[in-house]
Structure 1
Amino acid sequence: MKSSRLVQILLLLQTRGRMTAAQLAEELEVSVRTVYRDVEALSAAGVPLYADAGHSGGYRLLDGYRTRLTGLTTDETEALFLAGAPGAAAQLGLGSVLAAAQLKVRAALPPGLRPHADRISSRFHLDAPGWYADADETPYLPAVADAVWNRRAVNILYRRWREPTDVERRLEPYGLVLKAGRWYVVAGPGPRTYRVDQILRLDATGEEFSPPGDFDLAVHWAAYQRDFHHRLRAARAVVRLAPGVPLPGPARTDAVVEEDGWTRVTVAIESADRAHSDFLRLGSGIEVLEPAELRERIARTAAELVERYGNPQTS
């Protein structure tokens, strides 16, 4: 709608400063001719819009002019307050800042929209971590966030899964990501991804850095997730399942029911360690055929269990 687009033009110029008609048209997904008409409509309505000529010209608002958020719709108001993540803000040390910002936005809303903001706050609450996982201890999260914000390198002692487990790293933190209740920092060189809760020590260096000019945190994270899921199930195992036993993971080939009623199937696995644990949960309802090292490892575990439980203790 035109009225909504006019408000968008005002807010874009208010937040970004000078913008050309072409930039506004690209942002709003309209033609440059439409932008010209909208600017004329705003000027006719008394909005102090100025056009600067020349190569670096564009439209800008009179210095000091601010518009109130009277263009927000009911749906936009509800979405704005639903997007608030008080838990994450508190972890970053910004809990009071978020509360103050929401208070200011609520005060700027037209009276008719304030009840909708209050309704969202009272009916929806974001709690990201899962039920069966304790909240991660992230004592260095505020320091990492400060390094991200101020573009300062840090030295850390980091605990990883493989040997040697504790390693020292110099990081240039590009951005923070909250995924399923867990904080990750994307940092150069690389960039690479680190779990913030696995940082054992952090020392600020005071050294400034500049991330690559084409780095986009959201784009990088989406690519990282795709690569992670691709690697997650890169290995395969061939197993036989007893009738009624659920498939342990996504199948890679069509399952074949054999003469004894068992099903032979190839499944994708994350690793031999994870498959060892997952397959043992199925007890005698599964037989691992390949890879040989996984079959042998499960056989050793089964033998240990027989030895441990085969001779009942006598009182």
Structure 2
Amino acid sequence: MSAERLFKILNRLIDKNTCTAQELAEELEVSIRTIYRDIDTLTLSGIPVITTQGKGGGITLLDNHIINKTFLTSVEQEQIIMALQSIQNTSASSSELVLKLKNLFRKDTTNWIEVDLDDWGMTNNVFEILREAILEKYVVELSYWGLSGKNTIRKVKPARLVFKGKAWYLQGYCLNRKDYRTFKLVRIEKAQITEERFTDILNPPKIISEDDSNYEKVILHFDYQYKMRILEEFMESQIQFLDNWIEVVMEVPIDTWIKGYVLSFGSHVQVIEPTHLRQEVEEEIKKMIENISH
């Protein structure tokens, strides 16, 4: 079942009121049986859709009066519109539907949330490709950059998209590794839907680590002049204000990211734990000095 297709069917019924299963099947490029399954889904969800046989029959959305005054309360109407608004940036077809439902319900709700999935000055269709693959159960092929800086090609059964710790992740079953894996979206150079489909019910574990990395406890001390940056980048539970330093305790992989993060503070940070991270940062500083000297 495709949420995108359900949106399109409901949008079409609101616009035209009545149409045939054949018309919907041709427009959406699916079978008539699939259309009837979608209509059953809409009906079970509480949308008043009926089907009539014979000449002049078809699939019909009950009149506005039933939807507007009997079926949904005013609060429920607003909740539907606000829920759709919250996913407009992840579904190209929902924006028009939101507008039509506003007119149908005679509502002028506040657009209370906006999610922009593009980086500054950049566009990337990876999110939309993965979303489609998840809903339609297609295997995807990823060109992926690991933490080590190595690019690999992975074939994945995509399960879900997760927003965690200021970043988007894809969780899925990696056919290369024969196990569940987590992929950071910004490291996916290219995503392509294959012709291979799957029927498995995927149940990936909660995100604990990424790219098979082991997390370690890291303790850093920062100068107070970086207080605002620390408050923006870490949770309150990770921060402790000491007499002369701001202490941050976190669990992260010891990789190029954490070393680069520490170096970005220059002389205004101390690595308290672990010792080997401090040593690795010192080595990086020596290499930087050598590179600058040449």
Please indicate the TM-score interval, normalised by the length of the shorter structure.
Answer: 0.5 to 0.7
Is 1:15 the counterpart of 2:43? The answer is yes
CA distance, structure 2, for counterparts of residue 243 and residue 85 of structure 1: 37
Which of 118, 123, 137 in structure 1 is aligned with 2:108? 118
Quick check: 2:209–2:215 contact (8 Å CA) kept in 1? Answer: no
**Following superposition of structure 1 onto structure 2, how do residues 58-97 of structure 1 map, counting pairs within 5 Å?**
66=62, 67-70=66-69, 71-83=71-83, 84-85=85-86, 87-89=88-90, 94-95=91-92, 97=93
Aligned twin of 1:60: none
8 A Cα contact 1:128 1:180, kept in partner: no
Identity of aligned residues (%): 16
The aligned residue for residue 216 of structure 2 is 235
Residue 158 of structure 1 and its aligned partner are, at CA, apart by 2.1
Larger Rg: 1
Closer/same/farther in 2, CA of residues 138 and 196 from structure 1, 3 Å limit = farther
Distance 2:291 2:41 in 1: 74
CA gap 1:143/1:16 in 2 versus in 1, 3 angstroms? same
**One-letter amino acid of the counterpart of residue 294, structure 1:** L
- The aligned amino acid for 1:169 is R
- Contact 1:233–1:269 (CA<8 Å) still a contact in 2? no
Shift of 1:153: 1.8
The aligned counterpart of 2:198 is 209
Pick aligned residue for 1:192 from 181, 191, 213: 181
Q: Is the 8 A contact 1:236 1:266 kept in 2?
A: no
Q: Give the Cα separation in 1 of the matches to 2:148 and 2:252.
A: 16
8 Å CA contact retained: 1:187, 1:193: yes
1:69 shift after superposition: 4.2
Partner of 1:295: 278
Q: Tell me how far apart the structure 2 counterparts of residues 241 and 14 of structure 1 sit (CA, whole Å).
A: 55
TM-score (norm 2): 0.53
Task: Describe the SS at the equivalent of 1:185.
Answer: strand
> C-alpha distance in 1, partners of 2:116/2:165?
6
- Residue 147 of structure 2 is matched in structure 1 by 161
Structure 1: which 5+ residue stretches go unaligned? 1-11, 19-62, 311-315
Which deviations, in whole Å up to 9, do the C-alpha atoms of 1:148-183 show, x marking residues without a partner? 2322223332222225x2111112223344668865
CA distance in 2 between partners of 1:295 and 1:289 (Å) = 8
> Residue by residue, what CA displacement relative to the aligned partner does 1:200-228 show, whole Å, maximum 9, x if unpaired?
3445432221122xx46xxx58x32xx25
Q: Is the 8 A contact 2:89 2:115 kept in 1?
A: no
Bigger relative contact order (CA 8 A; separation at least 6): 2
Summarize the Cα distance change of 1:86–1:238 in structure 2 as closer, same or farther, 3 Å threshold. closer
- Confirm or deny that 1:101 pairs with 2:94: no
- What TM-score do you get using the length of structure 1 for normalisation? 0.50
Change (3 A) 1:210 1:134: same
Counterparts of 1:239 and 1:157, CA distance in 2:
34
Whether the aligned pair in 2 keeps the contact of 1:139 and 1:197 (CA below 8 Å) is no
RMSD (Å) for aligned C-alpha atoms? 5.0
Partner of residue 44, structure 1: none
Distance 1:64 1:135, change over 3 A: same
